[in-house]
Chain A
Amino acid sequence: MKPILTLILKDVSIELRRKESVAAMVMFGILVMVIFNFAIESANVDPALRPDLAPGILWVAVSLSGILGLNRTLAIDLDNDSIQGLLLAPLSRGSLYLGKVLSNLLFILVSDAIAILSVLVFYDLDADRRLLWVALVVLLGSIGFASVGTILSMVSSHTRMSEVMLPVLLIPMTIPLIISCVAATATALTRDAARPSLSLIIGFDIIFLVISYLVFEHVVEE
């Protein structure tokens, strides 16, 4: 446990010094929402129905800025081949994977928080108890995203066009997650008391965390 905390702390320290990733993610998330606003304008959506677009737009913003964040945190360990230093430590490959997932999750959640706030403002949603459900969906979805994203970013780093390869691999793989999260967020935001369906999201999280934990060594060892 302690080594994992050490790994997270290292990523946080470096990010605080560089101040690149989180700022870029937040900015990108907001920009995506702004673009969407103009993209939708032409569809002449009834203002009363505009809030219905919020879940989808939130998750597009969260996914895209998440990809940005994943690339940035990976760059920390690829600079000077520092990942080798981690691979030489008396730490299992699985623990290394978990440490990276948690670091990524942390940055993604910070960016998500801002994204949720932005959506509240842009789409004039009420900030009430239903927001807690939204936060839960975002948390669970981000866990899934970070777990697949971490291993796939490590895979992409071995290619010639690594930063582009990540979305090519990640987006098709996370479609079931995104579908479920958008649906759950939409349910969470509607006026009635329906509980959003979280089982597929949780299932996705568990399946991909376990598989990635087990096969991570094949990605980082030769």
Chain B
Amino acid sequence: MTDRILGILTPLALVAALWFAFIYAPTEATMGTVQRIFYFHVPAGITSYVAFIVVGIGSLMFLYSHDPKWDRLAYCSAEIGVLFASMNITMGMLWAKPVWLVWWTWDARLTLQLLLALIFISYLMLGAYVADPLKRGSLQAVVGLLGAADVPLNYMAIRWWRTQHPEPVIGGGEGSGLDPDMYVALGVAAVAILLLYVYLLRRRMAVEASSEKLRYLEQMVASR
């Protein structure tokens, strides 16, 4: 039931976000139309961090309770988190090129996203390559937890490093003002993207639960 509601709300919210981003929001003075990527770039980034926090919580709870639903939550959130981190990075690059004429500047936020994506990917690779499927949950949970501790440290390190060596900031510096209408558009888009995350997460978890059940049944048949 929840999924059905989400399944209708999410595309509606996304369409609304598109309208707000492309029609409602005023055109930015210096960067022009290209700046509108901002309305999806930032929420994608925020969502990737939310996804990562969920991976951290799932990992911790799994280590505590060994209930497979926590492992499933962490794993699925990681898959979707990579998606949003990649979207954020790609959009960042698409924005950077016309505005600053370079694809990449090791900007603090983009670098953080890249590192987050790398940690996600290494987490998923571990899951794929573990030889004994019975151990997979615990091992991923440990890495998920370590990764969750790492991200704030990454944030501090890169922030500090970038204040030593400033470079053009993609996505607007701390002081850049936004028109109130822009905040509205950003808010709508953020809600839409977060809804998308929740919807995808629920669907992915349902699929994963079925896969696990199937694997278990296959094993039962094979061992007879």
Contacts and interface: CB of A to CB of B under 8 A. Distances in A.
Contact of B138 (A156, A179, A212, A218): A218
B146 interface: yes
Interface in A174-222: 175-177, 179-180, 183, 197, 200, 203-204, 207-208, 211-212, 215, 218-219, 222
Nearest to A172: B118
Interface stretch (B7-15, B47-55, B155-163, B194-202): B155-163
Given A173-B147, A176-B156, A161 B142 contact: no
A111 B79 CA distance: 38
Nearest to A204: B153
Contacts of B153: 176-177, 200, 203-204, 207
A85 B31 CA distance: 65
A152 B63 contact: no
B99 interface: no
A172 B115 contact: yes
B65 to A, nearest CB: 12
A219 B119 contact: no
B214 interface: no
A159 B129 contact: yes
Contacts of B138: 218-219
Contacts of B131: 158-160
Nearest to B62: A218
B119 A172 contact: yes
Contacts of A24: none
B146 A212 contact: yes
Contacts of A211: 145-146, 149
Nearest to A221: B138
A52 to B, nearest CB: 13
A183 B145 contact: no
Given A165-B129, A169-B122, A179-B158, A218 B142 contact: yes
Contact of B145 (A159, A160, A180, A215): A215
B125 A165 contact: yes
A215 B164 CA distance: 35
A208 B148 CA distance: 11
Contacts of B132: 158
A155 interface: yes
Contacts of B115: 172, 175
A175 B126 contact: no
Interface in A33-50: none
27 contacts: A151-B142, A152-B143, A155-B142, A158-B131, A158-B139, A159-B126, A160-B129, A161-B129, A165-B126, A168-B126, A172-B119, A173-B122, A177-B157, A179-B157, A180-B160, A183-B161, A183-B164, A197-B160, A200-B156, A200-B160, A204-B153, A208-B149, A211-B149, A215-B63, A215-B142, A218-B138, A218-B141
Given A173-B119, A179-B157, 8 more contacts: A158-B130, A168-B125, A172-B119, A173-B146, A176-B150, A203-B153, A219-B139, A219-B142
Interface of A: 148, 151-152, 155-156, 158-161, 165, 168-169, 172-173, 175-177, 179-180, 183, 197, 200, 203-204, 207-208, 211-212, 215, 218-219, 222
